[in-house]
Amino acid sequence: MYSKAAIKPGEVQTYDDLANPRLKGKVCVRSGSHPYNLSLMASIIAHQGEDRAEAWARGMVANFARAPKGGDTDQIKAVAAGECGVALSNSYYVARLMRSTKPEDVEVMEKVGIVWPNQATTGTHINVSGGGMLKTAPHKEAAVKFLEYLASDDAQRYFADGNNEWPVVDSVKVNNPALEALGKFKADSLPIAKLAMYQVKAQMILARAGFK
């Protein structure tokens, strides 16, 4: 998310751009210990290695407009208010504001622009809503049926239309004007297991960088 009044979209085409000194004092973000940011950092470690990931984190910290705080909606509103020039947000928070009819939300979205990062390289980082079954689950058959339901067209359509998330099943057709307005994008194809592998390392690097 970027401020249309303060930032040109060409300045924030990649995650690396957020650590560029030209954005000093302009970046807003939520806590480095939040799963969203741990997952993003894990993807950067997987793609670029630990040293470059830490350099990125330190660059981000140097560019903070304020100490990390609040949720994704807070970051978007801070951009609209001019508190920062650019912020990270999960897309469904954006879509929620886009679908709102409240005058204050409409005004926020008029001031904010949207960029899908890393479209020319690895693709935009993806967070997921997922489920699994424990080996010790007492009702395995029911658990499997529930997971199968979550992957069904009906449930996937519910996630997309109800919570503004993209369906994981490609064939599912959605009826969500905000998702349609956000358009198609290249997604990072890193396996979720890869992100899990680097979660602890991600937290250590963010802590060393002062990304609290």
In tens digits, the chain (212 residues) has pLDDT values of: 999 999 999 999 999 999 999 999 999 999 999 999 999 999 999 999 999 999 999 999 999 999 999 999 999 999 999 999 999 999 999 999 999 999 999 999 999 999 999 999 999 999 988 889 999 999 999 999 999 999 999 999 988 888 999 998 888 888 899 999 999 999 999 998 999 999 999 999 999 999 98
Half-sphere exposure of 58 (CA within 13 A, CB side): 9
The CA distance from 193 to 82, in Å, is 38
Query: Exposed, middle or buried, 130 (CB in 10 Å: 0-12/13-18/19+)?
Result: exposed
What CATH number does domain 2-125+188-209 carry, 3.40.50.300, 3.30.1360.30, 3.40.190.10, 1.10.490.10? Answer: 3.40.190.10
Phi, psi of 163, deg, nearest 5: -120, 10
Give one DSSP letter per residue of 63-122, joined into a string: TBSS---S-HHHHHHHHHTTS-SEE---HHHHHHHHH---HHHHHHHHHEE---TTTTTT
Domain positions in the chain:
2-125+188-209, 140-182
Task: Tokens 């369906």: give the residue.
Answer: 167
Whole-model pTM: value is: 0.91
* Edge-to-edge order in the sheet of strand 2-3: 27-28, 86-87, 2-3, 112-113
